[in-house]
Structure formats: structure tokens, C-alpha cells
Structure 1
Amino acid sequence: MATMDVYGFSLSRDQETAAAIWVGNQPSQDFILVGWHVKPSLYGDSRTRFFTYWTKDGFLTTGCYNTACPGFQLQADARVFPGDVIDPVSETNGRRQNITIKVYKEDQTGDWWVHYGFNSNPTAVGKFPKSLFTGLADSTADFAFGGYTYNAITQLTPPMGSGSSQTGSAASFSDLQYIEQDGTVSAVAGNLPSHVDNRSCYSVTPIVNGKFFYGGPGGC
């Protein structure tokens, strides 16, 4: 579970920027991603959207975004849907708009539930059924928080987070928590390992009091 700032960018079709919670099982290559992104190749525009994604073979041939294929099942009374536009978005040096994402495994069914809130407490959006997965169906899960980008080899890397890595204006994840299968909620420890692919473009800070800052301008 995490709260994350949400930002907007004008990207080319061959670029993507995102921030998400990852839940996965490495041996089986089952993964769930939930967060926000700007992905013109998927939607035909550069608007910021709430998204879900799943795969059971490490992103090779299975899975999809949102409800583009059978998989993610919507809650009957959901007030928001995967793929919905998030508006307004944060101002880099102004008011921040936040989404709170909660992903947890229901003890009785083994289904993975997704809750979402925009500047509010999260409510149920839907679930990934246990039957979609092998490792995530019965085994323990790994988790990660952070941002990622994509660009075609002919494109420069896009911005990540707020587009800034400077103190006071970088994007953040806060209220980091993990949820045990019995429903127990615990704070995420500050000693989690971190990874940055390109330190010329992006950065990440250590977790302090359940919060960290990340991102950068891209352009590499």
C-alpha cells in the first residue's frame, strides 16, 4: 500500500512514464502492477491515467493492461476503472495531487484485490482472481515501489516522477505499508534495497518514515 504524487507530461508515442506498486513471485514469473502512467501508444494521448497490469510469464505472452483481456474483474459498485484519466495532476512546485493504491491477497479466496483513492482513502476497484496465477496463487509475494520509463531506441528517455530530482520538487511515495494475508498492516522498513538504471537521468532517496523521493528529468 502506498500514496504517490501524480504528474502529467506530453510524450511521444514511443515513450512511457509510470509510477507503480509491483507484486510478484519470481520463480513463477507472476506479476501485478498498479499505479499511474502516461502511455500514448496505449491510449492515443498523453493524459495521466490509473492503470493495472498482470502477467503470469514475466511479460512475455500473457496478461494485459486494465481490462483489455480477460483477467482483472471489476467490483460491481466501483467508482473508478483501470484506464480512467486522473485529473487534476500535481504542479511541480505547487499543490500535489495524490493517489493511494492498496493491493492485497484475500485470505479466504486467494484473490488479489486492488483499492484506489484520489486524494482520499482507497475503495475497492476489483480483483485479480487466484486462478490467473501459479506462484501468486499459493506462495508468498515480493513487492516493490517506484517509477519506470520506456522509450524507443530513437527517442530520449522521458521524465520520471515529477520530472525533477531536486529536494522539494521531486515526486514521492509515502505511507508505505505491506499487508499480511491475515490482514495485519505493517510499515515498510527503511532498509529496502534500491535500484536506479541510469543515474545520469534519475535518482531515488532512502526510505525515511515510510517515504522516499524519486525521479528526474530524463533526456538521456
Structure 2
Amino acid sequence: MHFIPEALDTYVVNHTEKEPELLEQLTRETYQKILQPRMLSGPYQGRVLSMLSKLINPKNILEIGTYTGYSALCIAEGMRKDGELHTIDINEELEDFQRKYFDLSPYGHQIHQHIGNATEIIPNLAMKFDLVFIDADKPNYPTYFDIIIDKMNPGGVILSDNVLWSGKVIEDIKKDDLSTKALLSYNKMLVDDNRIETVLLPIRDGLTISRVL
């Protein structure tokens, strides 16, 4: 989803750091072998995630929604050498694909995969987080926030993807559109919560940065 003219978007991409070769390989194989390859973060957003992680320099990272591992590898780039990244996905069929690329990266030994329902897995993770990236099923975004907010370190950052949902958040909502309804509630929840400060960026399909006070 582009919210600026295509020519200007191309200029932005051309003047942004290029993705590492390993991520290019991951993208190619995802498009060759995996359903719904549009779910990849992509090179531009990936560089945004990488830069944010490097600025935060997190020790403990949580990702909700792994898919083929692209975004996990991006946010791992800013992780401390003694850090851990815990990534959760419901689809067990992608586990080996993810692991292959994690192990090809410098961060493989620091990345821990969890397969199953994030609402059940997160409460059992005995740590607090400096960085969380939410990119999973939209109807559960408010639930994920409620679960993770008390597991954040002060100054920690929650990144939420797809919060503009192809612009549907400002359109008339269809009765059966649970995802858009959930995102509307979620976006309002973030801006109203006095435990965090929030900025919504029109990057790709919308990316919210929420800093824990």
C-alpha cells in the first residue's frame, strides 16, 4: 500500500539503505514456495524496522507473527549481543523455513521460535521486553496489547504493523469486517492509553510506534 505518489515512493526507496543479501534470498524463496508472499515486510519497511531496532538497541525482543522470518531478521539487527528474540507464529508448517534463514544469519542462536497461540505463549515467557513487533491476526491486536503492556520495560517500544489496513480505517465498514473494526479500536486504544506515547506513521500499510513511559 502506497500513501504517496509512486514516483515519490520510488525516490524514497532508492535513497534508503539496501536490504542484506540474505533477506533478498529469503524474499525470493518466499515468493517461490509460500502462500501469500505479500505478507512479507519488504525491503523498505524492513530497513525501517532495522533502523528502529538499532536506535533502541534492545536486549529482549518479542515478535507476534513470524511468517517466513523476514521481519525477525530485520529487528534482530539492533539486538544486543547478549539479547534474545522470541518470535511466535500459529503456522507450524513454516517453522523449518524460518529456522533455515535464522541459522544462516549471525543471530540464529539468539532467535527462539514458538509455535501456537500467542495469547497462551506470551504469559509463560519469564522476561520483560525492550521491543515488541505486532504483525499477526488483526482482531487480536487489542488482546495482544493488553497481554504485553505489563511485560514491557520502561522506555520499551511496541511497533504495530498494518494499522491503516489499506485505508479501510477511514472508509465505511462492512458488517463482517472484523479486522478493520479491531484496528479502529486498537488505534484509539493506543492514542488514549496514558501508559504510552504513540506516533502513527503512514509507512507502507501503517506502522505505529508506541513508547512505554
- State whether TM-score is above 0.5: no
Give the structure with the larger helix fraction. Answer: 2
Q: What's the TM-score once normalised by structure 2's chain length?
A: 0.32
Q: What's the TM-score once normalised by structure 1's chain length?
A: 0.31
